[in-house]
Amino acid sequence: MEEVVNKISHLLSIITWLPALGAIIILVFFKKDRADQIKKFTTGWFGLTFAVSLFLCGYDKSMGGMQFLEDHQWIPVIGARYQMGVDGVAVLLIVLTTLLGVLASLSSWKYIQKREKEYYVLLLLLQAAVVGVFSSMDLFLFYLFFEVSLVPMYFLIGIWGGERRLYAAIKFFLYTLVGSVVMLLGILKMYFLTMDANLTSKVAKGTIDLLAGNSAASDLVQRTVSLAAGNPAGATGTFNIVYMQSLGSVLPMGTMQVLLFLAFALGFAIKVPMFPFHTWLPDAHVEAPTAGSVILAGILLKLGTYGFFRFNLPMFPKASFDESYFGSFGVRNVMIWLSLIGIIYGALAAMYFVVKKDGDVKKLVAYSSVSSMGIVMLGLFALNPNGVNGAVLHMINHGIYSAALFLLVGIIYERRHTRIVSEFGGLSNVMPAYATIFLAMAMTAIGLPLLCVFISEFLSMRGAFEASPWWAGWAALGIILNAGYMLWLYQRMFFGNIDNPKNEGLEDLSGREYAYMIPLVILSLWIGVYPKSFMDFTASPVNAVVRQVRPDYPVPGMIKPGTEVPERAAR
Amino acid sequence: MWVPLAVLAILATFGGFVGVGPAFKFITGSEHPGGKLNIVNWLDPLIWNPATHGFGTEASEEVVKHEATESPVPGHGAESVAANPYGNTGFNLAESVEHRIGPFLTEWLFIIISLVVAGFGMLMGVVFYLKKPYLPDIWARRLAPLYTASYHKYWVDELYGYLFTRRTMDLSRGVYAFDSRILDGLVNGAAALTRLSSQIVGLFDKYVVDGIVNMIANFVGEIMSRVFRASQTGFAPNYALVMVLGLVIAVAIFFSGDILSALKGFLAIHF
């Protein structure tokens, strides 16, 4: 299987550009007023992309590293190449993206009642950009996709959003842009560092092998570097991500590394979003149409955490693990405490929308995302295999349950045109199936054992505990608060008698709604019961990142026999 | 309503078998808790233990080898890997009983104790509510204070509600106020500041920068044009005069260096 799949050439390019091709087909061949055809075609096309992306599951887990490699000349003057390649983490995120694409387009059939053609075109383009982000192996290409992904989302919120859609869309766009422009400065500095002979001469081949993960990828990286150096029009630097990561191992710790870390971190922290850069999120979620919220929460937030995993940790390992740069605390402490504040703060802010009389469910889910992404960041900066594994799995799990919750809120909004908690009550009497699926997803969000979030939260916190019991303790407080408002929300919306006559005639789920909810419930159970089938994908890239940041930590499968393990590593 | 209860009762009865001890070896087929039904170590394959270099409770070959040769692996205490995975937790009733009568009897002893306690509770329930339904009222009157306290669950809910639930709700209101006023206020403030500075720049551009441009245009259009218009008299001698003046100026500029040095020489001689 794996042998066959790895031979499919340009698989990543196909998955990336297939949605864009679909968008072109719609633009050219479909008439504006045939909305019915357009939505069926789009959903089918998303289904096709999802089916093609399943070939990525043939990723060779025992080999690990970057696979499905592609390499073409692109902009030789600056050494930017069209290079694609994914590791296990990116494979999972891409498959999640293509799956949520199908569900999002299926959920829009009735919700979107104007300008359907443009809507579905933008949905397809958004997917192309996001898959491009996950599959880039060239930082320049990455940045391009990263920025382009803003544009379709901007229009999705700005055209099909709620009352304050323009405010929310502009806030989303500008806020994210501020961060990524600062990141661009960092990217440029990194690019010039790849031309710095003092540094590049120190990069060990072993580091490249470790981060590339397999010999084919390692060869690609070294070929890229020698091509850049031997450019006939004058030597250039390279944007190859793996090479930049390897450069991180020889980058001296100091102000420059900390500044670079912060430049990248700002771009990604706004995207995650981490406290205190999160205020664009509730606005964007509340105003976005259902499918927009689904993609935003399910996928776009992961661009931030994925960025930390792919860039900040391996490229600036010393800054990531630093605990003394600012005197009594370091960069790592800053990240950890912002995550912890985010976990508790997000949970408390979410709770406000059940505490107050006319709370908006969507805003509640939005703030719960802030809390959840805090757990991802905590796991990442725990900087041990358990924490990072948990964080990576939590990215997927958050994509599942937050997408599901937004879809569920969308279902009730289509029927009642309101999302105010106090408008509902006793819904389980009229919509039993809806109530059941909502409960399954609320329980997932809380982290009930045998459902997916339990595994990832447990692993993240286990990792954090290894680093410091206090961190895990504060995170646990946030998780308890999450359970508190989720159960309370469920009680107020679903239990008791129907006291609002408008809710009496509500219809239960339709076949189409079942079709887009059931896959998420199944996934949640699958990951909750047998997470290993997913964790196998992430094991080798996670271990490589941990090893890059902490060379003396005993990482699974990478212990050299006879080596002494220092005291610090075992804590 | 009895259907869900029946389902739960069945699950509760058989759920206990998940993780049963070695006393039920004939079912589980293993000395380990749960055996084939084991969920105790369900997450073991995921959890990396840096101290043992293995996943979950297993130890890596390297550590096992070191233990076999009785030389602890440097850096991770081999003794903690061995007998008691939960550490020495002080006095432990079950453990001290186990020392006296062995693991097999201990397990049955505790199973029997639990069954007796549960059976006693069931028996009391049958006596109080089925056989002699007047008994609960009598005992409630006799032990009135205790009855009231237990009826109100010792007021734990009220205390908890006041101490924690209400306070958490207050905190939640405070956090949201901070978020919407201060944090989002900062963001919107930054936006407003940008808009304000763009307005200032706009006004500066309109009145100062463009003002200068317009001033020059006006100067040319209003004043200079009058001068030039006035000079266009139509008389040939006037034009000739302008031409001569132009010639003089051109010569003066062309020979300005010579004229200046001549002037300097003249001044140096006479003064």
DSSP codes, A471-491: HHHHHHHHHHHHHHHHHHHHH
The end-to-end CA distance of chain B, in Å, is 128
Report the residue from B45, B76, B172 with minimal CB separation from A352: B172
Q: Does B48 touch chain A (CB under 8 A)?
A: yes
Over residues B215-230, the pLDDT tens digits come to 888 888 888 888 878 7
Nearest to B175 by CA among A399, A282, A422, A174: A282
To the nearest whole Å, the CA of B144 is away from the closest chain A CA by: 33
Over residues A9-33, the pLDDT tens digits come to 789 999 999 999 999 999 999 888 8
Long-range contacts of B160-167 (CB under 8 A, 24+ apart): none
Over residues A159-197, the pLDDT tens digits come to 998 888 999 999 999 999 999 999 999 999 999 998 888
Give me the pLDDT at residue B56, please. 74
Q: Is residue B264 in some structural domain?
A: no
To the nearest whole Å, the CA of B16 is away from the closest chain A CA by: 17
Q: Does B59 touch chain A (CB under 8 A)?
A: no
State how far Cα A478 lies from the chain centre.
Answer: 21
- DSSP symbols for A317-362: HHHHT-SSTTSS--HHHHHHHHHHHHHHHHHHHHHHHHHSTT-BHH
Domain limits for position B218: 173-255
Q: What is the pTM of this model?
A: 0.84
The answer to whether A77 and A236 have CB atoms below 8 angstroms apart is yes
Number of domains into which chain B is organized: 1
- Minimum CA–CA partner of B75 in chain A: A567
Q: Does B78 touch chain A (CB under 8 A)?
A: no
State how beta strands A80-86 and A67-75 pair.
antiparallel
Q: Does B173 touch chain A (CB under 8 A)?
A: yes
Q: Which residues in chain B are closer than 8 Å to A462, comparing Cβ atoms?
A: 47
Nearest 5°: CA angle at A386, between A383 and A392? 80
- pLDDT category, A568, cuts 50, 70, 90? very low
User: Alpha helices, DSSP H only, in B87-209?
Assistant: 93-125, 135-142, 144-151, 156-160, 166-177, 184-203
Q: Determine the residue type at A23.
A: A
Averaged pLDDT, B90-95: 71
Averaged pLDDT, A122-139: 94
For A128-158, b/e burial (b = at least 16 CB within 10 A) is bbbbbbbbbbbbbbbbbbbbbbbebbbbbbb
Contact state of B172 with A535 under an 8 Å Cβ cutoff? no
Q: Is residue B66 in some structural domain?
A: no
Nearest to A139 by CA among A93, A75, A187: A187
Q: Determine the residue type at A137.
A: M
- Global ipTM: 0.81
Q: Is residue B198 in some structural domain?
A: yes
Output phi, psi for A69, to 5 deg: -75, 145
Q: Is residue B163 in some structural domain?
A: no
Report helix, strand and coil shares of chain A as percent, to nearest 5.
75, 5, 25
Output phi, psi for A348, to 5 deg: -65, -40
**Among the listed ranges A204-208, A391-395, B17-21, which one has the minimum average pLDDT value?**
B17-21
Q: Is residue B236 in some structural domain?
A: yes
Q: Is residue B30 in some structural domain?
A: no
Averaged pLDDT, B230-237: 81
Q: Which residues in chain A are closer than 8 Å to B60, comparing Cβ atoms?
A: 559
The answer to whether A102 and A53 have CB atoms below 8 angstroms apart is no
Q: Is residue B98 in some structural domain?
A: no
Hey, what are A67's tokens?
A: 């696979």
Q: Which residues in chain A are closer than 8 Å to B78, comparing Cβ atoms?
A: none
User: Cα separation of A237 and A228, whole Å?
Assistant: 6
**Among the listed ranges A507-511, B31-35, B194-198, which one has the minimum average pLDDT value?**
B31-35
User: Cα separation of A567 and A429, whole Å?
Assistant: 59
Show which residues on chain A lie within 8 Å of chain B, measured between beta carbons.
171, 174-175, 276, 279-280, 345, 348-349, 351-352, 355-356, 384-386, 389, 455, 458-459, 462, 466, 481, 484, 531-532, 535, 553-554, 556, 559, 561, 564-567, 569-570
User: Cα separation of A299 and A503, whole Å?
Assistant: 33
Q: Is residue B114 in some structural domain?
A: no
Contact state of A352 with B176 under an 8 Å Cβ cutoff? yes
Report the residue from A349, A459, A554 with minimal CB separation from B50: A554
Q: Which residues in chain B are closer than 8 Å to A175, comparing Cβ atoms?
A: 187
Cβ contacts of residue B142 below 8 Å, gap of 6+? none
Cβ contacts of residue A270 below 8 Å, gap of 6+? A175, A176, A178, A179, A277, A280, A304
**Among the listed ranges A221-235, A388-402, B181-195, which one has the minimum average pLDDT value?**
A221-235
